[in-house]
A and B are shown apart, each in its own frame.
Chain A
Amino acid sequence: MLRKTIAAAALVAFAVGAGSGALAEDKPVEPWERKENHVKAPKDSPLDYLVSGYWFRTPKTRALQDDDFENPAFLWVEQGIDEWTKVDGKAGKSCASCHETAEKSMKGVSARYPVYSAKTKKMMAVSHQVNYCRENYMKAKTWKWESGKMLGMTAYIGLQSRGMPVSVSIDGQAQPFFEAGKDFYHERRGQFDLACVHCHQANFGQYIRADFLSQGHSNGFPTYRLKWQKLGSLHRRFRGCNNNIRAIPYKRGSPEYTNLELYLAWRGKGLKVESPSVRQ
């Protein structure tokens, strides 16, 4: 009996000891650490679990995203709604001419993008596809990647996938693009000689330069970033990261960043789309 008690006590002590690594220094359990906020990582993922950037941000920032009336990104969404039905270009068409209501036709689109296009033989992000339609079907001028109209449109399209799991495909024609994106993610660059993997895989949940590192997922883009005071694209964020480590950034919409977008989407496969999110 006594033996059993000792064994049980030892077991309890062990269990407590094993589970309280973070508590040892009296650190509170952060929202990103909580199991209920974790999502199962995809097969072959280098991460043990996935957690959205949402859970790395302050309660105040999260509250802004939780309420569509408070979320400043919805100013751009309204612009997207206007553009959806606006006839533009020599063909006399709008998005709605072919796609009717976005709520139906765009559902799930942002969750599965970027995709390989047999027509262009390229990896296409949503912004590429919007411009492809404008140029080829509407016979209209293309929009700049970071323009208000493009951000509004991609936010409006992204909104139609909100709550759906990221479900990008990396097989078949997409595979070489995926591999290129994976290589980019692991390649050191800039005077700081850093790769994406150093911060967002090895050190998420830690502070660096007074900033709290997330897993670097793409499920919230385009995002209203408080620092920018503006809605911004994923590729804008890539440029910011590259600039900070004193590396020459690539162009928004470049094949390099689009490949990286594909790889990131795969890393976040299963996370819910949050577009348009709010980040710090």
Chain B
Amino acid sequence: MGLKFGRLVLATLFASALAATPFAAQQALGQGKAPLVKYKIVDEDSIPESLTGKPGDPEKGKKWSINTRQGHCIACHVMPVDQPYMGEVGPSLVGVASRYTAGELRMLIVNPKVVNEDTMMPAFYKADGFHRVRKAFVGKTMLSAQQIEDIVAYLLTLKEEEK
């Protein structure tokens, strides 16, 4: 109960922080040029609506999953890709589409701390509220809204094989 409430407060705080971000600062946000998109959290663990209104590109999503500068999901997660080094500090993403909905995946990439405040997974679509961020990354998100949609689209292709 306490934890659930905490999450709600966190999500609300986050949402209000976004609303308060001045336009000039928003210009610099994101890997793309667009200002940070507002989104709605449903049931405390899901963002059902696309951040961009455009469908993601699973091919590009796969690329971001491997890219060491942007995305790099395999730094922590095992994925069904042909790569020599994959991390194991996060859960395997093999068959992940059979375990989570699109909205839940989007939430976990945007800001997993809304779901689990103790997680070590970074928020990929959060631009402030951090401690001692290097100048080059101040006010920026780790990924753009479209990159997140691409990754969600890719993850949705990772269904568990029927045996």
CB nearest to A188 among chain B residues: B131
Q: Please give, as numbers and ranges, the residues of chain B lying within 8 Å of A210 by CB-CB distance.
A: 75, 84-85, 87
CB within 8 Å of A: which B40-84 residues: 68, 72, 75-76, 84
User: Which of A107-115, A136-144, A241-249 faces chain B?
Assistant: A241-249
Contacts of A102 on B, CB cut-off 8 Å? Answer: none
**Candidates A190, A198, A202, A213; contact of B130 at CB < 8 Å:** A190
**Residue numbers in A under 8 Å from B76 (CB-CB):** 208-209
| A44 at the binding interface (Cβ < 8 Å) | no
Shortest beta-carbon distance from A242 to chain B in Å: 8
A198 touching B134 in the complex, CB below 8 Å, given contacts A206-B88, A206-B89, A208-B89: no
Beta-carbon contacts under 8 Å, A196-216 to B = 198-199, 202-203, 206-210, 213
Interface string of A121-142 (1 = CB under 8 A from B): 0000000000000000000000
Q: Which residue of A lies closest to B131 (CB)?
A: A189
B94 at the interface (CB under 8 A from A): no
Contacts of B88 in A (CB 8 A): 206-208
Q: Is the CB of B85 within 8 A of A243?
A: no
Complex CA gap A193/B112 in Å reads 12
For residue B120, CB closer than 8 A to chain A, the reply is yes
Contacts of B86 in A (CB 8 A): 207
Shortest B106–chain A CB gap in Å is 19
> Restricting to B110-135, which residues have a CB under 8 Å from any CB of A?
113, 120, 122-123, 130-135
> B100 an interface residue at 8 Å Cβ cutoff?
no
A194 touches B132 (CB 8 A): no
How far apart sit A208 and B75, CA to CA, in the bound complex (Å)? 5
Number of interface residues of B (CB under 8 A): 24
- Minimum CB–CB distance from B115 to chain A (whole Å) comes to 14
Contact among A190, A202, A207 with B87 in the assembled complex (CB-CB below 8 Å): A207
Residue of A193, A199, A203, A210 contacting most chain B CB atoms (<10 Å): A193
Q: Does A191 contact B (CB under 8 A)?
A: yes
A contact face: mostly helix, strand, loop, or mixed: loop
- Interface residue A66 (Cβ < 8 Å from any Cβ of B): no
A175 to B134, CA, bound (A): 30
Shortest CB-to-CB span from B147 to chain A, Å, is 15
Are B75 and A247 neighbours in the complex by a CB distance under 8 Å? no
Q: How far is the CA of A65 from the CA of B142 in the complex (A)?
A: 39
Supposing A207-B86, A208-B87 touch, asked if A243 and B134 sit within 8 A by C-beta, the answer is: yes
* CB of A187 closer than 8 Å to a CB of B: yes
Q: Could you tell me the distance between the alpha carbons of A202 and B88 in the complex, rounded to whole angstroms?
A: 12
A187→B132 CA distance, assembly (Å): 11
Q: Are B89 and A248 in contact (CB under 8 A)?
A: no
Give bound CA distance, A191 to B137, whole Å. Answer: 7
Contact with A along B85-101 (1 / 0, CB 8 A): 11111000000000000
* Shortest distance from the beta carbon of A207 to any chain B beta carbon, whole Å: 5
Distance between Cα atoms of A89 and B150 in the complex (Å): 64
For the complex, give the distance between the alpha carbons of A202 and B121 in Å.
13
Binary B-proximity of A204-247 (CB < 8 A = 1, otherwise 0): 00111110010000000000000000000000000000110011
Q: From residue A248, how far is it (CB to closest CB) to chain B in Å? A: 5
Contact between B120 and A247 (Cβ–Cβ < 8 Å)?
no
| A190, B75: Cβ atoms closer than 8 Å | no
Whole-angstrom distance between the Cβ of B69 and the nearest chain A Cβ: 11
Contacts of A191 in B (CB 8 A): 122, 130, 133-134, 137, 140, 142
List the A side residues contacting B85 at CB < 8 Å.
207, 209-210
Sample of 13 further A-B pairs with CB below 8 A, known A203-B120, A246-B137: A187-B131, A190-B134, A190-B137, A202-B120, A203-B89, A206-B87, A207-B86, A210-B84, A246-B134, A246-B136, A247-B131, A248-B132, A248-B135
15 contacts between A and B (CB under 8 A): A188-B131, A190-B137, A193-B113, A193-B123, A193-B130, A194-B120, A199-B120, A207-B87, A209-B68, A209-B76, A210-B84, A210-B85, A246-B134, A246-B137, A248-B132
